[in-house]
Homo-oligomer: A and B are copies of this chain.
Amino acid sequence: MPRKRQTANPTALGDRADIDARMAFLIEAGKLAGVDRATRIVDGSRVENSAEHSWHLALFALTLGPHAPDGVSIDRVIRMLLLHDLVEIDAGDTPFFAPGSEDTAAQDAAECRAADRLFGLLPVEQARAFRALWDEFEAAETPDARFAKSLDRFQPPNLNLANGGGSWAEFGVDEDRLRERLGPRISRGAPTLWDWLSPKIADFFAKRRAD
């Protein structure tokens, strides 16, 4: 196969060196399957890992796209969601309702260092593109990033509802705390989905109080 001319332009790396870099990133990314989350999978048999969570979220985006606010690009949202948790390979996952999880400064710094290292494995042009998508997701200011962030908050309570309460029981989360922390975060980027979820949460806790 003809090799392209090697220059300072990363797109002009030879095929072999260019694929070497992309594959080093992809093999390192595979470690995301070893990062456990607090939420349990739909049948409740074990906790979810961040790789399968990322797939499930991307499928949420594809399937619930018609309920995204106007102007959202589902393909960009999917790209963000495929990348959004990679930093956990170095920085780990912080459960949303874990004690101290609202003080995020140290975790944010660890995630930035992780992004530097992981995206730094890639050819420069793609490293910049992936980092820009991840920064956009984290800042949660564009409609695409807001919808992506809202899906990231919307999926776990749906797993918990499917498996009988899951991580809510483990972290002693009651309905008020759940609504206070989840409601604004889901409704900011996906108001239709929060309107759908809210009565299901009410039903779940009403039934638990009645038991």
Contacts and interface: CB of A to CB of B under 8 A. Distances in A.
Interface in A114-131: 122, 126
B67 A15 contact: yes
Interface in A53-111: 54-56, 58-60, 62-64, 66-67, 75, 78-79, 82-83
A195 B75 CA distance: 29
A58 B82 contact: yes
Contacts of A51: 51-52, 55-56
A16 B83 CA distance: 30
Contacts of A196: 15-16, 19, 23
A33 B51 CA distance: 10
Nearest to A76: B75
Interface in A7-48: 11, 15-16, 18-19, 22-23, 25-27, 29-34, 41-43, 45, 48
24 contacts: A1-B195, A11-B66, A15-B67, A15-B195, A15-B196, A16-B196, A22-B67, A23-B158, A23-B196, A25-B63, A26-B60, A29-B59, A33-B48, A33-B52, A34-B43, A51-B52, A51-B56, A58-B58, A59-B83, A62-B79, A62-B83, A63-B122, A63-B126, A78-B78
Given A33-B42, A75-B79, 8 more contacts: A16-B196, A19-B192, A27-B42, A29-B56, A31-B43, A55-B82, A58-B58, A63-B122
